[in-house]
Chains A and B, each alone.
Chain A
Amino acid sequence: MNPSSAYKTPLYWLGVALGPAAWAVNLQTIYAITPHACARPTPATIILSIVMALIAISGTLISLGAIRGDAPEEWTEAQGGRVQNFMAWLGVGSGIIFALVILNQLAAALMISPCLR
């Protein structure tokens, strides 16, 4: 392993971790705040969702930066053995999907009154 790959190795899987983690923090926190949001309106849920969506997207960008080389031909790709690229692509997709979920939950917070039962 050369020095540059050693530097990049710990980060390629980060999108897989950051996306779901950001979504879990977002969901649990806003669900805990919701029952109290009617009595004490706060923009905290909106701010939190924006921050968490950005964290999920940052996971995507970090994983994207770890992808090396061009996309190989399908049969070559199907050979496998490129674990780092595989995990990096998982990270890219994972960050996008979970950012999408967080943004959907943000949309709900923007549209629905917390006092509605």
Chain B
Amino acid sequence: MSDLARDAARHLRDNQLEQSELAALLLRIWHTPSGWLGSLTSVDHKVIGKRYILTAFAFLILGGLLAVLMRLQLAGAERKLLSPDLYNQVFTMHGSTMMFLFAVPVMEAFAVYFVPLMVGTRNIAFPRLNAFSYWIFLFGGCFLWIAFLFNVGPDVGWFAYVPLSSLQYNPGKRADVWAQMITFTEVAALAVAVEIVVTVFKQRAVGMTLDRIPVFVWAMLVTSFLVLLAMPSIMVASTTLILDRLVNTHFYDTASGGNVLLWQHLFWFFGHPEVYIIFIPGTGMVSMIIATFAGRPVVGYTIIVLSLIATGFLSFGLWVHHMFVTGLPQLGASMFTASSMLIAVPSGLQIFCWLATLWDGRPVYRTPLLFVLGFFAIFVLGGLSGVMVASVPIDMQVHDTYFVVAHFHYVLIGGAVFPLVGAVYYWFPKITGRMLNETLGRWNFWLAFIGFNVAFFPMHILGLMGMPRRVYTYTPELGWDHLNFLSSAGALVFAASFALLIANVVLSLNRGERAGDNPWDASTLEWATSSPPPPYNFSRIPLVTHRDPLWAEGVNLPVVAGLSVERREVLLSSIADAEPHTREASPEPSIWPLLTAIATTTFFVGSIFTPWAAVWGTPPIAIALIGWFWPTGSKEDEE
């Protein structure tokens, strides 16, 4: 008997069963155990993805409330709502929360939920690592916010420049909390990046060649590589800062041979790609929404993918434009000016491809597309001011003013948050099985669009008038109060748009119109399964014959047969041509990722107080990892 025949005899396979029988068996194998303990063991990418999305949006609300506080403080001259010390904590918490606890995690969260569905597999690669990454992210975010509630919130800006964040100028634990929060969130982000890369490269459905991968998946693949290459830099920076503060290692102590500019290089080598880690997934969402609502394949698929890859590479050659005022030689600075201006080229190529898609299609102006149109207007304005500040002389003038605040909010909110909210409206039906209310959605869009522009456009003028960033108040004779009042009013309208989004979600969860499998008549594989998807995603793995499989094949997709229905199993395929290679066991639910995350959290928190945490904090992690990987004799361990 051949190996193949022996294997076939040992495992019951999906091609031996009727549909209803198959679905019941798959549900039994792939379901998450019930009860609160069971839910803590889940390794289902959809369960973890939902948790990630909800947690990231919770941090968005918290960060947004801080923004409202700042705008109330700045609405008039010499207001006394916040003290200078609290204001320092508030703007640091706002920036850190938005960048590290909302923007990056929420994009990865959507990838955790949708990438496996879009590539036609049953779970993400390394599902237990996925669970671990969520717990670490949650604990890191809670650590930062609990510290803030106890008046130990960081007050050194989201960039924590040395020497401001050194022990000499920042005694206490505020800077340590910031630095260790970085460690938490970067560990989580790196774990997800590894999962996404492996899922995209090895778990694509048979036939999904490189040129059939959905654009959002390409965007997340490029983003994941950016995370893998950029985040080690900030982890080195934050760890060396903690070491400087805890055991006097002198990395940034100029009196002992250290170098403060080293911090800026390390931080911005991460910090600029970070912008693209947030923006590139947004462009992926835009491509998906435009194709669906234009009712045609996106124009220039190859050009869009090229733009994503080129943007990813170029993002690593821009970091010095954050350091133009540090006294670097002008020739060196101008090299980075060149890269900074040229990165507009791939972004511009994408925008022309999207406009051509809308031009040649029959656009249906539903809420997701409205948010994409808002993205066009806002992001292009942000891009234009970006080209301005890429120029050294202009940057010298507006550096550290509200002009820069206006610029990066136009880029980040326009480039990422508008597509993200559009994506919420687009994918909510798939996640919940219900449609969001369209009327509330339109109100949501117009409040967001008007509120955003009223809040942030005046900041360009305030910056040009000389208003510096990070000041807790200003005197009336400076003449900044009218524009600040207008900006604060816009911020309240913008905040109201998010309140409306939350109300829409809450109302629609129970009373929304039922969505069906594919309410938008979209073309990609996540719409080929039920809404919400079953724990096993697809009862039979689709065979992909076209870049837009649901438009090419309709609902009756050809399928691949032969996967086991006696254990969790995924199909591995080749990187370029997605030819089937092998069947691989997929891990079952486990409590060990949570226990490992608790042990890791104890170590991380302890290590900002004492170096002895390395002695007593690491053995529990080792024990948890041994428990995690200990062979249990279950089906997932069978070869």
State the A residues within 8 Å of B (CB). 16, 20, 23-24, 27, 30-31, 34-35, 37-38, 74-75, 77-83, 85-87, 89-90, 93-94, 97-98, 100-101, 104-105, 107-109, 112-114, 116-117
Tell yes or no: B255 within 8 A of A by CB: no
CB pair B335 A108 closer than 8 Å: yes
With a cutoff of 8 Å between Cβ atoms, the chain B residues found around residue A104 in the complex are: 338-339, 341-342
User: B309 touches which one: A30, A90, A108 (CB < 8 A)?
Assistant: A90
Q: Once the chains are docked, how many angstroms separate the CA of A93 from the CA of B302?
A: 9
Tell yes or no: B257 within 8 A of A by CB: no
Tell yes or no: B142 within 8 A of A by CB: no
Listed A/B pairs (23) with beta-carbon separation below 8 Å = A24-B317, A27-B335, A75-B297, A79-B546, A80-B212, A81-B207, A81-B209, A83-B209, A83-B577, A86-B302, A94-B306, A97-B306, A97-B310, A97-B342, A97-B345, A97-B346, A104-B338, A104-B339, A107-B338, A108-B331, A112-B331, A112-B334, A113-B331
User: B332 touches which one: A20, A31, A113 (CB < 8 A)?
Assistant: A31
Tell yes or no: B337 within 8 A of A by CB: yes
Q: Once the chains are docked, how many angstroms separate the CA of A86 from the CA of B331?
A: 37
State the B residues within 8 Å of A (CB). 207, 209-212, 297, 301-303, 305-306, 309-310, 313-314, 316-317, 320, 327, 329-332, 334-335, 337-339, 341-342, 345-346, 545-548, 552, 576-577
A-B pairs, 8 with minimum CB distance: A104-B338, A86-B211, A80-B212, A108-B334, A34-B332, A116-B330, A93-B306, A20-B313
Q: Once the chains are docked, how many angstroms separate the CA of A117 from the CA of B337?
A: 15
CB pair B211 A101 closer than 8 Å: no
User: A37 touches which one: B310, B316, B331, B546 (CB < 8 A)?
Assistant: B331
With a cutoff of 8 Å between Cβ atoms, the chain B residues found around residue A97 in the complex are: 306, 310, 342, 345-346
Total A-B contacts with CB atoms under 8 angstroms apart = 118
Check A30/B335 contact, CB under 8 A, given A23-B313, A101-B314, A104-B341.
yes
User: A105 touches which one: B305, B316, B330, B335 (CB < 8 A)?
Assistant: B335
Given pairs A23-B314, A83-B211, A87-B576, 7 additional interface contacts (CB within 8 A): A31-B320, A34-B335, A79-B545, A81-B209, A97-B306, A97-B342, A117-B329
With a cutoff of 8 Å between Cβ atoms, the chain A residues found around residue B577 in the complex are: 83
Closest-by-CB residue of B relative to A109 is B331
With a cutoff of 8 Å between Cβ atoms, the chain A residues found around residue B211 in the complex are: 80-83, 85-86
- Closest beta carbon of chain A to B314's beta carbon, Å: 7
CB pair A87 B210 closer than 8 Å: yes
CB pair B345 A78 closer than 8 Å: no
With a cutoff of 8 Å between Cβ atoms, the chain B residues found around residue A83 in the complex are: 209-211, 576-577
Most chain B CB neighbours (cut-off 10 Å) among A37, A80, A89, A101: A80
With a cutoff of 8 Å between Cβ atoms, the chain B residues found around residue A85 in the complex are: 211
With a cutoff of 8 Å between Cβ atoms, the chain A residues found around residue B207 in the complex are: 81
User: A108 touches which one: B310, B317, B337 (CB < 8 A)?
Assistant: B337
User: A86 touches which one: B210, B316, B335, B345 (CB < 8 A)?
Assistant: B210
Q: Once the chains are docked, how many angstroms separate the CA of A104 from the CA of B546?
A: 39
- Closest beta carbon of chain A to B500's beta carbon, Å: 37
With a cutoff of 8 Å between Cβ atoms, the chain A residues found around residue B335 in the complex are: 27, 30-31, 34, 105, 108-109
Check A94/B339 contact, CB under 8 A, given A80-B212, A83-B577.
no
Q: Once the chains are docked, how many angstroms separate the CA of A79 from the CA of B316?
A: 33
Q: Once the chains are docked, how many angstroms separate the CA of A24 from the CA of B335?
A: 12
With a cutoff of 8 Å between Cβ atoms, the chain A residues found around residue B320 in the complex are: 31
Check A101/B342 contact, CB under 8 A, given A78-B297, A89-B302, A114-B331.
yes
